[in-house]
Amino acid sequence: MEKEKPGIYFNKDNSFRVVYHQTVILAVMDSVGHEQFQKAKTPNMDKGGFTNFSPAYAGATWTIPSVVHMMTGRLPLYGGREQILPSCYWLPKRFHDWGGSTHYIAAVGIPTHIIKYCWDTFDFPDRGERYAENLINKALNIMKEFPTKRKFFYIHFEDTHSPYECKGNGGEGSTDWRIKEILKYNSRTAEIEPEYFEYLKKRQIETIEHMDKVLKPLIDMESTLMITSDHSDCFGKCHYFGHDNSRIHKLLEVPLLVRV
């Protein structure tokens, strides 16, 4: 029988099955909302053959529960860690069952909370090594060196998170955001000037445009690739700045590009 090409195939009973490429990548740009993504110029993503499902809805309004939602499909999650048992649906386990190896590379502090179950490699680089270029290089090295043909990557980028620093706009893209100027503005107590919001929005757009360049090697390769975000950031909408576990629906609106 001829091998099926990657794609989505519908069965007679209206169920469907997905035939993946040998390399499957879920790339998550932290804190990128649908509106901000629309404003960014992303020529590589535009030409990448994606279906654009934006705005899609993240599973939670901050990182950990949103990532756990991606792994489990469960809703609602507020903390995202207590609920997980190995018997739960767990995305990397699905890829193991498919005969693939699984690789987790993340720049945001998820590993202390999330179960490290079913990852063949689990990489949480040191501060100073978390910029997007480094994460991509780690993935490319694994692709060359890991023996299995089928591979699933979860890659979580921090460059787009506040204070929106990447190598493309003068930062390292690896931010000790706790000590940055941005956080002298406490979102619950301080009024932020509208001009400052505009400045922050512009900076985040720069980081999204930078991500478009950095992701090019993944976009150009034969792969099943999904690009999305774990939640949005608010820049004054709903009288709110940033993101946390607030139940603000705007925080859920994210981009979602899928290429099977």
CB of 246 to Zn ion, least distance (A): 13
Question: Residue 158 or 206: which CB sits closer to Zn ion?
Answer: 158
CB 1 → Zn ion: shortest distance, Å?
A: 43
Please report how close the Cβ of residue 230 comes to Zn ion at its closest, in angstroms. Answer: 4
User: Which residue, 143 or 252, has its beta carbon nearer to Zn ion?
Assistant: 252
Instruction: Give residues in contact with Zn ion (CB under 5 A).
Output: 30, 63, 230
Q: How far is the CB of 98 from Zn ion (least distance, A)?
A: 27
| Residue 101 identity | S
- Shortest spacing between CB 48 and Zn ion, in angstroms: 23
DSSP string spanning 64-88? Answer: HHHHHHHHH-----SS-STT--TTS
Angle at 65 between CA 62 and CA 69, to 5 degrees: 120
Query: In this complex, which beta carbon is closest to Zn ion, that of residue 58 or of residue 143?
Result: 58
Which position's Cβ is nearest Zn ion?
Answer: 63
Please give the Cα distance from 130 to 109 (Å, whole number).
11
Residue with smaller CB distance to Zn ion, 21 or 74 = 74
Q: How far is the CB of 62 from Zn ion (least distance, A)?
A: 6
Minimum distance between the CB of residue 70 and Zn ion, rounded to whole angstroms?
Answer: 11
Q: Classify the phi-psi angles of 65: left when phi > 0, otherwise alpha if psi is within -120 to 50, otherwise beta.
A: alpha
H or E element, residue 157: strand 151-157
* Distance (Å, whole) CA 33 – CA 24: 23
- Can you tell me the distance from the alpha carbon of 172 to that of 150, in angstroms, rounded to the nearest whole number? 32
Omega into 194 within 30° of 0, i.e. cis?
A: no
Which residue number, 63 or 175, has a Cβ lying nearer to Zn ion? 63
* DSSP 8-state secondary structure symbol assigned to residue 36: H
68: left (phi over 0), alpha (psi -120 to 50) or beta: alpha
Closest separation in Å from C-beta 175 to Zn ion: 13
Q: Given the structure tokens 């909302």, which residue do they identify?
A: 33
Nearer to Zn ion, 151 or 250 (CB): 250
Burial of 52 (0-12, 13-18, 19+ CB in 10 A): middle
How far apart (Å, rounded) are the C-alpha atoms in residues 122 and 150? 17
**Is 115 or 260 the residue whose CB approaches Zn ion more closely?**
115
Specify the residue, 96 or 164, whose C-beta has the smaller distance to Zn ion.
164
